[in-house]
């Protein structure tokens, strides 16, 4: 009889999912204006994607969009995946190695010599709720990875130049 009551009590105190409470990151953490033309800004983003060994899902330079997927999972520092109720307590949902992160890079010309780049992350993780089948949950980004990528793009943009511009600078120096 006691075992039966324990099973019923366990069923009512576990197996609940509480969605993420994190607010999406502010645009000032996920966007940057760089002082290079559109084509060089696109090159800077492609270099950063390559350096991070992301798998390119979509690369549409005509629309200024690159979608890339991170190979492997992510951490709770990167995204809020909600909470599940265990026995008597709520616990944070840990993303497992099958979790995925997809980064959308949007590059737009702002003027002839400046461009804007926006990074948006989508985190998805398998959700393991006791007494329920495994399902996927959309986690809410904390903006950590977007800020890191924006910083990498900012640094890479400083290195971008056209070979012709470089040759012209040498000629003018002579």
The per-residue pLDDT for 15 is 62
What's domain 13-161's architecture? 2-Layer Sandwich (3.30)
The per-residue pLDDT for 84 is 77
The per-residue pLDDT for 19 is 77
- Give the whole-angstrom CA distance, residue 108 versus residue 114: 9
The per-residue pLDDT for 125 is 87
Q: pTM of the predicted model, to two decimals?
A: 0.78
The per-residue pLDDT for 147 is 94
The per-residue pLDDT for 53 is 94
Question: One digit per residue, pLDDT tens: the chain, 174 residues?
Answer: 433 333 333 344 456 877 788 888 877 779 999 999 999 999 999 999 999 999 999 999 999 999 999 977 798 899 998 887 766 778 787 788 889 999 999 999 999 999 999 999 999 988 766 666 777 888 999 999 999 999 999 999 999 988 765 555 555 555
Helix (H), strand (E), coil (C) string for 123-154: EEEEECCCCCCCEEEEEEECCHHHHHHHHHHH
The per-residue pLDDT for 41 is 97
Residues ≥6 apart with Cβ < 8 Å to 144: 77, 78
């Amino acid at each position: 009889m006691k075992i039966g009551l324990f099973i019923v009590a366990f069923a009512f105190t576990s197996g609940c999912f509480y969605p993420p409470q994190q607010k999406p990151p502010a645009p000032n953490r996920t966007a940057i204006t760089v002082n290079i033309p559109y084509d060089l800004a696109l090159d800077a983003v492609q270099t950063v994607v390559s350096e991070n060994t992301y798998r390119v899902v979509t690369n549409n330079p005509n629309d200024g969009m690159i979608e890339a997927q991170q190979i492997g999972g992510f951490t709770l520092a990167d995204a809020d995946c909600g909470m599940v109720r265990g026995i008597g307590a709520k616990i944070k949902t840990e993303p497992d190695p099958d979790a995925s992160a997809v980064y959308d890079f949007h590059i737009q010309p702002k003027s002839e010599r400046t461009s804007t780049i926006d990074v948006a992350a989508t985190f998805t993780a398998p959700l393991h709720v006791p007494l329920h089948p495994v399902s996927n949950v959309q986690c809410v980004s904390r903006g950590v990875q977007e800020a890191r990528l924006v910083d990498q793009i900012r640094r890479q943009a400083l290195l971008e130049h056209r070979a012709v511009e470089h040759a012209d600078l040498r000629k003018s120096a002579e």
